[in-house]
């Protein structure tokens, strides 16, 4: 093998090793320090490891895979119960918010939720006031913020977000217009349409999880294709 080819292969191996190291450190930061943003976790991990090559920065899906592995190895006894509690709370909240056709999204749906994770829902109304009034009339105080979601690869739209707590669990409701039911925003992990579960799907998946966790994951994948 020519010396140049040897150096090229060695450099590629080093990049791949660093990608894995950064992904694992980002996963650790997300799991142990509650960082929710993949990009922030990635940059912080690279800084901690002294990795400055942009090619050595993992994709978000690589970090998500590393997060699942980290949870399995280090939090296998506690994380499934934390996830279960949030999925049960999600189903209860979706029944409560049925008028707004809620959809479960994020870590609670994907299975990576932990002690830092909010129950994230998309709710649909052409006015923010309808949702806030519904909650306020039922004694639920909310904090209103905004969030930018990518609706195409080139366009982001700002939506209102309602934050509140119930039974010591944080809830995060993004309020989208009714016509956004037809097309989900793009996921921050893979930039494909975000996976969302209706109440019926969430109830069915939760029932499956009671019997067989592997069956639950298969059902989840099939239902959200």
Q: In this structure, is the dihedral angle defined by the CA atoms of residues 48, 54, 55 and 60, taken in order, positive or negative?
A: positive
13: confidence class by pLDDT, cuts 50, 70, 90: confident
pLDDT reported for residue 12: 83
205: confidence class by pLDDT, cuts 50, 70, 90: confident
Q: Please name the residue ranges forming H helices in the chain.
A: 3-33, 38-49, 60-74, 79-96, 107-110, 128-137, 199-211, 213-223
**Domain boundaries defined on the chain:** 3-74, 79-223
pLDDT single digits (tens) 181-198: 999 999 988 889 999 999
* Second-level CATH architecture of 79-223: 2-Layer Sandwich (3.30)
Identify the CA nearest to 135 among candidates 161, 104, 105, 109. 161
pLDDT higher than 60, residue 7: no
């Amino acid at each position: 093998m020519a010396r140049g080819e040897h150096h090229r292969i060695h450099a590629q191996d080093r990049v791949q090793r660093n990608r894995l190291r950064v992904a694992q450190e980002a996963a650790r930061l997300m799991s142990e320090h509650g960082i929710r943003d993949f990009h922030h976790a990635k940059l912080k991990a690279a800084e901690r490891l002294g990795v400055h090559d942009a090619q050595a920065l993992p994709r978000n899906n690589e970090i998500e895979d590393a997060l699942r592995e980290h949870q399995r190895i280090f939090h296998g006894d506690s994380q499934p119960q934390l996830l279960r509690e949030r999925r049960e709370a999600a189903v209860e909240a979706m029944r409560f918010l049925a008028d707004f056709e809620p959809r479960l999204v994020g870590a609670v749906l994907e299975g990576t939720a932990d002690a830092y994770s909010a129950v994230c829902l998309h709710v649909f109304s052409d006015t923010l006031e309808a949702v806030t009034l519904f909650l306020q009339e039922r004694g639920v105080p909310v904090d209103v913020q905004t969030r930018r979601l990518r609706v195409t690869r080139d366009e982001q739209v700002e939506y209102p977000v309602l934050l509140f707590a119930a039974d010591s669990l944080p809830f995060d409701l993004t309020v989208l217009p009714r016509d956004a039911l037809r097309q989900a925003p793009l996921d921050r992990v893979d930039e494909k349409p975000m996976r969302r579960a209706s109440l019926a799907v969430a109830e069915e998946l939760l029932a499956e999880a009671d019997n067989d966790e592997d069956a639950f994951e298969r059902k989840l994948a099939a239902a959200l294709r």
